[in-house]
Amino acid sequence: MFGVYPFMDAKLEDFEPVFAKLIELNLSEPIDFDQYAAPFFPVAEDLANQAQEEETSGDVTKASELYLRAAALYRIARFPVPRSPKQKEAWERNKEAYAKGGRYLKPPMIEYKVPHTHALPGTTEAESYIPICVRRPHSIKAVPTVIQIFGLDGYRTEFTPASSLFTDRGWAAVAVEIPGTGDCPALRQDPKSPDRLWSSLLDWLEAEDWVDKKNIVAWGLSTGGYYAIRIAHTHKERLSGVVAQGGGCHRMFDPEWLDNVGHLEYPFDLDHSLAVKFGYDDVETMKKGAQKRFSLLESGILDQQSTRLLLVNGMNDSIFPIEDSLLPLQHGSIKEARYIPGASHMGEPAATKIILPWIEQLVHISG
């Protein structure tokens, strides 16, 4: 098993026949995503069948591994965003396999449907719930809780390695998706929808007896870092600290930047994927209006006071401009930051080794 993003819970041998088929297909842009997704299914189905057999025989540890390996294949089949019928089917199968494998982890991965009590009336938000994945250590006392805010292509069904980092330290781990991704109910085109999302989630968490209400930390990844910067300001009284890793805030929406992101670090069509995520019909429409609508600088969010906020990224980021990681330092509350020379988007593998001690210290101070 290896944990290189986005191949968490995967084995290389599972992907070798898939990649061989993709090479044979020699897909070119514009990619037929149904054709792209199809080769993942036979291997994933075989693993899921093996998992069911192991489950029936009573070997739940092996069953868990096989279900999670199947989920990894379905994850890459729907990558980066499920936009074709086959990719949407892969997303549904990914959730099913991940739930089956996750329940046998120690501690188990449990999915909750959180009431969206702050949903905007008269919209689809009001008819929905917030799906989250939770792992928490067996404890008779309330424990520090880390909310992992996922990104553009990262969903709650790839939480195994990250959640283990938290539970191994005695913390609870919560995975949540951002507007326009996964099953997030928040309106993707409404810049204020995440505020309602976080209010509903935090209300629910604060009512749970296993949550140490003085030690709730949010950690946003990539596009989730954009939402981390925002929540650090909008919900500053309810969080002991926030990490924004690789997040944008203003220049990520600049038309000139968007003209070039499709030819840099990201392996797929980042500009189109962002347009889908933020609720635009096409990239050109996004370029005309996204910065004014979603910029945290334009909205004045950055000039507000925040909770403790750690900004982390690689200096050579070409997913979002590194200037966006620097911009919050020039506004509002004093922030903390670490930028890794020579590193790409997110700053790994150095970043996590910086972030975890920061959270450990934060939890110790708050406790």
Query: Annotated catalytic sites, by residue?
Result: 222, 317, 345
Q: Which residues contact 325 (CB under 8 A, 6 or more apart)?
A: 244, 246, 247, 311, 312, 313, 317, 337, 339
Nearest to 307 by CA among 365, 205, 236: 236
Query: Buried (b) or exposed (e) across 167-185, using 16+ Cβ within 10 A?
Result: bebebbbbbbbbbbbbbbb
Nearest to 200 by CA among 324, 74, 113: 113
DSSP 349: T
Q: How far apart are CA 34 and CA 31, in angstroms?
A: 9
E strands, the chain, in order:
110-115, 129-135, 143-149, 172-176, 211-221, 241-245, 309-314, 336-340
